[in-house]
Chains A and B, each alone.
Chain A
Amino acid sequence: MSRLQALLAWLDRASDWLSPIVVKEVRQIVRGRDFMSSFGSCLFAGLLVAFFGAGDALTGEGTSGRWTFMSLMTCLTILGLAVVPLGAFSALRNERMEQTLELITLTALSPRRVVIGKLLAQGVKLATLFAAVAPFIAMSFLLGGVDFVTILIALLVLFLWSLWASAAGLFLSTLLKSRAMSGLVFIGVGIMALMLFGISRPLFFFLSRGAFVTGTVFGVGPSPGQFWWTLAITTTSCVMTMANLVLLAENRLSLPTANRVTALRIGFFAQTLLISGWFLTYINEPPGTESAAIAFFGMIGGVHLAAVAMFTVTEDLIVPRRALLQMQRPSRWRWLLAVFGPGGGRGAAYVLANMAVFLAAALIFDPPALRLRWLVAICAYICLFTGVPTLVFRVVKPARPASVPLRAGLLLLLSLALLLPDILYYLLWQPDLLGFNFGARHLINPFRTLANWETVETNGWLWVPTLLGLNGLASYGLLIQLGRRTTPQPVTAAQGVAAAGEPGSAPAVH
């Protein structure tokens, strides 16, 4: 056997350890036109930049490495944050369109292995593109003006966020089955992501941990320590949200009879812990920074909790029989995993557990009483707007699978709460001039109430949010009870055919 044959045989044996999806995708990618053009563009851009960089180096200033590196990073950023994610989006979408995903579903590969395999394949693609530019980046280091650590960190951060964008592309491709619609969703979400990235100051604050904005806002200048904190927070946020995007995509690809939510709930609970963890790193900071940290924690944590509540509390109360059987299996962690199980009733308990973590972090931080009540009010409004409407619907139709319309209904109700106070005021009292100043009528509007919390407390209106919050909390308690009553007792596999499929155990989602 020649050396080459031996090497190929070894590679073939070694490939057994790789995901089958990665092996297939890489084989397809390297023969695809998209990859060839991306790889060619990388080499061409690298050569061009190297040519001009070498010319500039002749001036003898020793700084041409900086702009050379920046130019190469710009090329890689375009490929990593736009071209490769688009490839990831197409990879899974094409599998759905060509119905090959069904053939994969029939194999021993779980939806999670499929999504992770697709993501890793994009990682290989990214690594290859990065490798194509590597000699030119090495040249920029030699030209001077940029240090090795900066190059290394910039490449790692870009690689990680490119993978994140690919995970987002994979998730988006699972949302809709229509080719045109899924393409529109991808473009729309891409634009939204860019806008959010531009305007999201709270996120920016957390990511930068004061390094960029504190200089002007909180009077604290950036320091090397803050840079590493920034890196730690961005990296953990990237990895955590990427894991959750993978779990979301897995959820979309799983059969409706499977337990599609436990992994997702664990993922989002970990995200709650992470957000709380970030917040707690601000203990013992100067008072100004602490106060800003509480505000940002409330906003980011609140949005996170609201999204989690909207998707979990509204879940159908009836759990698929197969999921119940899985939950029935003896396990050391069964008692702990109960709250992460499927069903709207367990969903309500899960949201309360998340809120407990959120408020516990706030208590450890020991903020002023007013800010603590503000954080409690965030939870109260979330309970009110997700719990009460869901409870009303579930009391009327406990067994009806209607989680999607219910979520749409919650959003509609929230919109009404935002608009109705002013509209009713105008219609009933007919003022000469419609005033938009915050008043008692806006207490039903969660955004305005929370934004004007000091006014709420100084005017003695605290009892209104308290009452609304207690209603919300009570509705959560009743939903938990309703869930326990509605969920049928799981049957054993031995009961088999005769006991198969309770009504609603397999919602018609195909």
Chain B
Amino acid sequence: MLQLEGLVRHFDGVCAVDDVSFSVERGKVLGFIGPNGAGKTTTMRILATLDTPQRGDARIGGYSVVDEPEKVRRIVGFMPDYAGVYANTTVSEYLDFFARAYDLHGSTRRRAVENIIEFMGIDELRDRDIESLSKGLKQRVALGRALIHDPQLLILDEPAANLDPRARIEFRTLIRELAADGRTVLLSSHILTELAEMCDLIAMIEKGRILATGTVQEILERVRQRRILSVRLAGAHDGLERFLLEQPGVLNVHEISGRMQFEFSGGDDEQVALVGRLVDAGFPLLEFSARSAGLEDLFIEITGRGVQ
């Protein structure tokens, strides 16, 4: 459904997208992860035909975004990270306008608007002025707008940014429904744990380059071979960091909220031995905990900085 081949986009000498390539099959949900300025939005804008690459191309449903943008637009729905609403316009008029703009006529147009209102659960909002809606509701209407012409590929830039926890759960269900319906979804989000639950595939991007791609399962299995251990001492942590770094299988030691946290690649026996060595070395061990590494840990490790 979606194929990116060596996309390159520069802005005033700065490379925003650098040789980005990946592909997504029909009916899959791909999560696009990266810090601010990593090139997520630029890539999405190129796919939505709002921008053009200096090199490379992308094919959506077999159409080139460079050569056939008009055909691409018919099968792509794009929801940017802004609402894009009009003054003095009701929700139903807003959706009606975009249905008309996609050349839907007569009963087809009316049916499309009604279907979207029903699907998005915004029936009680249909006569409300769109500008008076909350950010979350505007976002919901914007998603409806992106779906009005029944696109095969849905591109969503930070779609869950303004949603409350309940709306997020609804949104997650909505995305899975769309995927089950055969639509391909490409979305970026801040909330990596949510992405892990929602997406079939993950693409990590930083400084315009793709750092890792694969199914969520593949990526999680890759990181879950490591454990994240956390140690809290009764006194000061003097010498603990150095001691830990000298132990086999210990990586990325850092202090978080009065605890020393690190990655450990050993098994259960090695972990028991490590705790023993800590006690033997005279460290006043108050707490010790272990958990499997997740998407956020991988992201921090790969990008070397915080999630946006």
Judge: A and B partners, yes or no: yes
Bound CA–CA A505/B52 (angstroms):
9
Closest B residue to A325 by beta carbon equals B67
Shortest Cβ gap from B122 to chain A (Å): 18
Contact across chains for B64 and A106 when beta carbons are under 8 A apart: no
Write out the residue numbers on chain A whose beta carbons fall within 8 Å of the beta carbon of B85.
98, 100
> Interface segment, B99-107, B216-224, B228-236, B286-294?
B99-107
Bound CA–CA A105/B12 (angstroms):
24
Contact with B along A98-134 (1 / 0, CB 8 A): 1110111111110000000000000000000000000
Shortest Cβ gap from B56 to chain A (Å): 6
How many residue pairs between the two chains, A and B, have CB atoms under 8 Å in the bound complex?
A: 117
Q: Kindly state the interface size class of chain A when it binds its partner.
A: 35 or more
Write out the residue numbers on chain B whose beta carbons fall within 8 Å of the beta carbon of A107.
73, 98, 101-102, 149
Q: Which of chain B's residues 8-62 have a Cβ closer than 8 Å to chain A?
A: 10-12, 48-57, 59
Closest A residue to B93 by beta carbon equals A27
Bound CA–CA A107/B5 (angstroms):
25
Decide: A20 near B97, CB < 8 A? Known: A102-B84, A493-B68. yes
Shortest Cβ gap from B149 to chain A (Å): 8
Asked if A376 is at the interface (CB within 8 A of a chain B CB), the reply is: no
Asked if A199 is at the interface (CB within 8 A of a chain B CB), the reply is: no
Q: Which of chain B's residues 80-96 have a Cβ closer than 8 Å to chain A?
A: 80, 82, 84-89, 93
Write out the residue numbers on chain A whose beta carbons fall within 8 Å of the beta carbon of B227.
none
Decide: A16 near B54, CB < 8 A? Known: A106-B78, A506-B66. no
Of the candidates A23, A255, A503, the one whose C-beta lies within 8 Å of that of B100 is: A23
Chain A, interface SS category: helix
Decide: A24 near B93, CB < 8 A? Known: A107-B98, A108-B103. yes
Decide: A106 near B52, CB < 8 A? Known: A24-B89, A28-B88. no
Bound CA–CA A257/B49 (angstroms):
11
Contact across chains for A497 and B5 when beta carbons are under 8 A apart: yes
Bound CA–CA A466/B126 (angstroms):
72
Bound CA–CA A122/B98 (angstroms):
20
Contact across chains for A24 and B86 when beta carbons are under 8 A apart: yes
Contact across chains for B84 and A32 when beta carbons are under 8 A apart: no
Write out the residue numbers on chain B whose beta carbons fall within 8 Å of the beta carbon of A21.
101
Asked if A31 is at the interface (CB within 8 A of a chain B CB), the reply is: yes
Contact across chains for B86 and A28 when beta carbons are under 8 A apart: yes
Asked if A451 is at the interface (CB within 8 A of a chain B CB), the reply is: no
Contact across chains for B87 and A506 when beta carbons are under 8 A apart: no
Write out the residue numbers on chain A whose beta carbons fall within 8 Å of the beta carbon of B55.
500-501, 503
Shortest Cβ gap from B157 to chain A (Å): 12
For B12, B98, B145, the residue with the greatest tally of chain A CB atoms inside 10 Å of its CB is B98
Asked if A265 is at the interface (CB within 8 A of a chain B CB), the reply is: no
Shortest Cβ gap from B80 to chain A (Å): 7
Bound CA–CA A255/B72 (angstroms):
14
Shortest Cβ gap from B112 to chain A (Å): 13
Asked if B3 is at the interface (CB within 8 A of a chain A CB), the reply is: yes
Contact across chains for B54 and A500 when beta carbons are under 8 A apart: no
Contact with B along A20-45 (1 / 0, CB 8 A): 11011001100110000000000000
Bound CA–CA A496/B93 (angstroms):
39
Contact across chains for B5 and A500 when beta carbons are under 8 A apart: yes
Asked if B74 is at the interface (CB within 8 A of a chain A CB), the reply is: yes
Closest A residue to B8 by beta carbon equals A501
Asked if B136 is at the interface (CB within 8 A of a chain A CB), the reply is: no
Of the candidates B51, B89, B102, B110, the one whose C-beta lies within 8 Å of that of A28 is: B89
Bound CA–CA A105/B10 (angstroms):
22
Which residues of B are in contact with A by a Cβ distance under 8 Å?
Answer: 3, 5, 10-12, 48-57, 59, 64, 66-70, 73-74, 76, 78, 80, 82, 84-89, 93, 97-98, 100-103, 105-106, 109-110, 145, 149
Which residues of A are in contact with B by a Cβ distance under 8 Å?
Answer: 12-13, 16, 20-21, 23-24, 27-28, 31-32, 98-100, 102-109, 255-257, 321-322, 325, 493, 496-498, 500-501, 503, 505-506, 508, 510
| 23 A-B pairs whose Cβ atoms sit less than 8 Å apart in the complex | A13-B106, A16-B105, A20-B97, A24-B93, A98-B85, A103-B98, A104-B101, A106-B50, A106-B73, A107-B101, A108-B70, A108-B74, A257-B66, A321-B66, A497-B57, A497-B64, A498-B5, A500-B57, A500-B64, A501-B52, A506-B52, A508-B11, A510-B11
